[in-house]
Structure 1
């Protein structure tokens, strides 16, 4: 797809080079208060986002997946500063934007834009398409070269719509066309970061492919950086470079796309991957290996202690109920928050007694999946032990070689010293005999 060039009136300088950190989130939290009574006293809080850390590099696409209610959309509104964080820090190109007000965020609105989930409610039905897409220019006081109308028509052609539809209203368009209008509005000021909150979830499958391909083409042509929030794992796999898996306000796993789909480490990630349908007619009569999770997601008002997934996990032990696992990089490019990860050695091998909830959850997991998990973890643990033993042998051999070399060097040094002393003593004897010769 050939994208018309943007006019010079709205071109912004790209400060961040590809690969540099564009967005950095540290300890981000958002708690919605629960108030009751006549005096509206706070009696609790909904922990929608409860401490997450991640980075987004310039030019990449970060996918965020998870069940409904895990805090994905809230996280997207926090990093675009449409919501005020309860705690934590949001940095954009090294600048702290966590608590910037409306006036402070206004210049940054050019660089950070959002595509909303519902294309029917995100467009004002009383305004024409031209008014909707031209709103960013008026709010930012930007006058494009050639006029606002010409620039809006260019944007409509960029997203695959007819520029002549400038004066039409949203109700005259289908869902896919409305989503394209939302994309055109988000791209009006040539942003650096675009947060797309489930951009294709409300669309038909055929239209989903068109919108996803459009986003991909726009990224390659305009150098955009995406944070795409979705629950469709096949869509995320198609568009993402890295993927973050969220559960109950926390990031369970953050990894490169290929690593995550090839060897997921967190049990929750493995359960999600097992739910992806495989479009293969030959597998129509094959037995499904889907992992069924026990129960529903716990309430974010009172999340479980320790690991939040332990109430539904088939590998949960006592340590999972008391100690929250940190998000740690167990493999290059793959961070996991789990005491008993899949496809890797156990991080808490001393704790082997399964909880009652874990035993009940294991009944919903196929025996093949359990056997494969145990075999893979055992193989990885054996491989790690073999590598450690090989490293120990290498270090011992190196130490022995260093000891032999140092002993040989010391021996050579001592021999050289003895030879020097002998030569010095031989040279002193004639000097001592000279004075008597002179007396004679």
Structure 2
């Protein structure tokens, strides 16, 4: 199979055309709205299968996705990204919360109620090997949505399936082949063709390139980007590769242990992350610069592992690994609030912004231990930026309070001149 020359030459860059869309996303209508979304998986033991606990996979999510934009979702394994994707596509039943699609509440719709919405909401699964039935041909797999929805495309199902295969870069003549005859990248393209068959409005892609070779990842990412521009799709892309997310997303949500800790425009997030966990994630991105080979690494190493979602920590869930954690972080859960235009953060002591709890300055013991794993330069930079931003905010407030007096003096000057 011959790939698109543009795709073959592209490595995932830091900027993409999605940045232009990000500035206009505020003018678009809200396609998907999620409020207080939760999913707890019960833990049962004993002969009577009594519930003894629950896994808090998703524990209170609030976000919106606007028509035509791409929302990227990142976080460590086990943070609830994939569960969130299955909840908003209604492949899982939520424990609590509300999901609205085009203003309609779809939180608890049954199979019959969701059937018409399946045309508008589709999912691309992570594993291209297990998501395709090995007993069915590619034509049967890609054509299944038409039969399930009772849709008869113009020219017939076979012609439409062959057109879809051509759109995703496959040979239409492979209509009668089986999944085992294709590579991983080709199988993922088949999954994409199946998801796009009914021309959906929202596509949730659960780590669409994580199972592929690096040489193939850029081709699939560029394919998704091109299809969005051609078909006007809206994406929620779940991934753990920060370079992929940066390339395709307009906005990015950072998840940790079932909650969103930061939600911001792509450029703002990568330029000045405000949550300590986000900053630690960004520091892990390798910089391909030979001149920095001998430079001291400023990577932030987090102590320990992610706490168990069966019994998550009280207060801020990141306080057990954070180098800035104080007593308020242990006792009070921070709310996801907009500290900068387009940048929401859930943190008492954010980076690159004034301290939200300046009265609480005594570090926890775990924070002192975590600080030992963080470079001195990073700690100094964190303290300097917070102090500088706080001083700038105070200076701006002072100048604004003096402005009315100055304006009053200027307005009286012409009057005196006329006298």
Q: TM-score, normalised by structure 1?
A: 0.87
- 1:206-225 mapped onto 2 (5 Å cutoff): 206-225=215-234
Report the equivalent of 1:257: 266
Report the equivalent of 1:71: 80
Bigger CA radius of gyration: 1
> How far apart, in 2, do the equivalents of 1:55 and 1:399 lie?
44
- 1:253-332 mapped onto 2 (5 Å cutoff): 253-332=262-341
**Alpha-carbon distance, 1:283 to partner:** 1.8
Report the equivalent of 1:8: none
Q: Deviations over 1:39-74 (max 9, x none)?
A: 111111000000010000000000000000000000
Q: Deviations over 1:178-203 (max 9, x none)?
A: 00000000000000000000000000
Report the equivalent of 2:138: 129
Report the equivalent of 1:362: 371
- 1:9-158 mapped onto 2 (5 Å cutoff): 19-158=28-167
**Alpha-carbon distance, 1:338 to partner:** 0.2
Report the equivalent of 1:186: 195
Matched, 1:380 2:389: yes
Instruction: Tell me: higher relative CO, structure 1 or 2? Use CA pairs within 8 A at least 6 residues apart.
Output: 2
Contact kept? 1:306, 1:322, Cα under 8 Å = yes
Matched, 1:345 2:354: yes
> How far apart, in 1, do the equivalents of 2:271 and 2:176 lie?
49
Matched, 1:160 2:169: yes
RMSD over equivalenced CA pairs, Å: 1.8
User: 1:109 is paired with a residue of what secondary structure?
Assistant: helix
> How far apart, in 2, do the equivalents of 1:78 and 1:396 lie?
55
Q: TM-score, normalised by structure 2?
A: 0.91
> How far apart, in 1, do the equivalents of 2:244 and 2:238 lie?
10
User: 2:296 is paired with a residue of what secondary structure?
Assistant: coil
> How far apart, in 2, do the equivalents of 1:30 and 1:309 lie?
20
> How far apart, in 1, do the equivalents of 2:408 and 2:329 lie?
41
* Residue ranges of structure 1 left out of the alignment (5+ in a row): 3-15, 409-440
Q: Deviations over 1:343-388 (max 9, x none)?
A: 0000000000000000000000000000111111111000000011
Q: Deviations over 1:278-334 (max 9, x none)?
A: 112222222211000010000000000000000000000000001000000000010
> How far apart, in 2, do the equivalents of 1:43 and 1:396 lie?
66
**Alpha-carbon distance, 1:152 to partner:** 0.2
Report the equivalent of 2:207: 198
Report the equivalent of 2:240: 231
> How far apart, in 2, do the equivalents of 1:398 and 1:75 lie?
52
User: 1:132 is paired with a residue of what secondary structure?
Assistant: helix
> How far apart, in 1, do the equivalents of 2:368 and 2:102 lie?
47
**Alpha-carbon distance, 1:243 to partner:** 0.1
User: 2:61 is paired with a residue of what secondary structure?
Assistant: strand
> How far apart, in 1, do the equivalents of 2:118 and 2:218 lie?
28
**Alpha-carbon distance, 1:400 to partner:** 8.4
* Residue ranges of structure 2 left out of the alignment (5+ in a row): 6-24
User: 1:33 is paired with a residue of what secondary structure?
Assistant: strand
